[in-house]
Amino acid sequence: MTYKLSQITKELNLDFNGNDIEIDGIHTLKEATSSQLSFFTDAKYASELPQTKAAAVFIDEEHADLLPDTTIALITDEAYLKLAYASKFFAHKIESKGGHPAMGEGCDIDKRVRFGKNVTLGDNVTLLAGCYVGDNVTIASNTLLHPNVTLYHGTQIGQNCIIHSGTVIGCDGYGFAHTKLGEHVKIYQNGNVLVEDDVEIGANCAIDRAVFGTTTIRKGTKLDNLIQIAHNCDVGEHTLCAAQVGLAGSTTLGRNVVMGGQSATAGHLEVGAFATIAGKGGVTKSLEGGKTYAGFPAIEIKLWRKMQAALMRLVKNR
């Protein structure tokens, strides 16, 4: 679905100078194409402005001159709020009508499974009672969904996966912009979720769809029960996450990361390959791979143990 730039800007009470081009979506400054909108809200991304290929950018007047000549400046002092309003144009239309999936050979589908439109199943897919598979979902061969799994629209599941009961994949990420009066405006989450091959996901997990782009669970990863993966996370190959792990938005885990029970990360950070986060560890900044961390904020476990021992001696000597 596309819209004239003039349709969008009229709705948002903005003016622009340039061609009235067709817009088909929204993305980051780095990823936006010549038919997409983008936004600028943080000076630390100013270096990306001259290179952006976006058709138009919501931006403050101070930084507008940094945009290339091919990009239209949409001048506003509320760029994030305008992004939220614009995101609704490209939201997936939710409706109750479904369809019949395109199925490979040997599938076993309980009669109490519901499908949206344009669903594709590979060979030997098993879907147990109460599952919902939304519009434009693909499930590759030899994958098993236990009862009451929900796959929102656009979700892609690889082959040889196991997803346990109650898990929801592709639900909206937690994204809101805020007005000057403190009201919260929904940012429609128009990306999707990709679960690669050989992944197992435990019961009652929630994996949020991306704002734009893709939330990715890479091959061989194993998730325990009751895990939250927020929008735009990228979970590396063969990662292990124990129960009640939580990843905030745009967290990137390298391959073979291990996260102990109830450990968590802040958003927009990276944990390097083969790192281990001990149970209840709180990751507040990016961490190098190949090391073990503990505590809050998470530090190398040897130092954390020394701190705990020193604290215990201090208490005993009072």
What H or E segment, with its residue span, contains residue 175?
none
The Cα–Cα gap between 231 and 214 comes to 8
Instruction: Report the distance separating Cα 231 and Cα 165, nearest Å.
Output: 21
How many other C-beta atoms are found inside a 10 Å radius of the C-beta of residue 280? 15
At 159 the pLDDT is 98
Q: What contacts 307, CB < 8 A, 6 or more positions away?
A: 295
List the structure tokens of 47: 């270096």
Decide if 258 contacts 281 (C-beta within 8 A): no
Taking residues 20-25, report their average pLDDT: 96
For this structure, is 231 an active site residue?
Answer: yes
Rg (C-alpha) for the chain, rounded Å, is: 22
- Name the pLDDT band for 315 (thresholds 50, 70, 90): confident
Q: Looking at residue 318, what is its pLDDT?
A: 73
Query: Which pLDDT score is estimated for 73?
Result: 97
Length of the chain: 318
102-302: CATH superfamily: Hexapeptide repeat proteins (2.160.10.10)
For 49-54, what is the mean pLDDT? 97
Task: Compute the half-sphere exposure of residue 253: CA atoms within 13 Å on the CB side of its CA.
Answer: 34
pLDDT of amino acid 231: 98
The pLDDT assigned to 303 comes to 96
Domain ranges of the chain: 3-90, 102-302
Local structure of residue 121 (DSSP, 8 states): E
The distance of Cα 150 from the centroid of its chain, to the nearest Å, equals 16
Q: Could you tell me the CA-to-CA distances from 118 to 26, 97, 115, 133, 280 in Å, in that order?
A: 24, 11, 9, 10, 42
Q: Which residues pair with 120 in a beta bridge?
A: 102, 138
Say what the pLDDT of residue 316 is: 83
Looking at the chain, list the stretches that DSSP marks H as alpha helix, in order from N- to C-terminal side: 5-12, 79-87, 301-316
The CATH architecture annotation of domain 3-90 reads 3-Layer(aba) Sandwich (3.40)
How distant, in Å, are the alpha carbons of 71, 124, 196, 240, 307 from that of 214?
24, 26, 12, 20, 40
Catalytic residue from among 27, 153, 164, 231:
231
Q: Averaged over 264-274, what is the pLDDT?
A: 98
pLDDT digits (tens, 9 = 90+) for 273-291: 999 999 999 999 999 999 9
Partner residues linked to 264 by β-bridges: 246, 282
| Average of per-residue pLDDT values in the chain | 97
pLDDT in tens, 181-204: 999 999 999 999 999 999 999 999
pLDDT digits (tens, 9 = 90+) for 99-145: 999 999 999 999 999 999 999 999 999 999 999 999 999 999 999 99
Band of pLDDT at residue 222, cut at 50, 70 and 90: very high
Rounded to two decimals, what is the model's pTM? 0.95
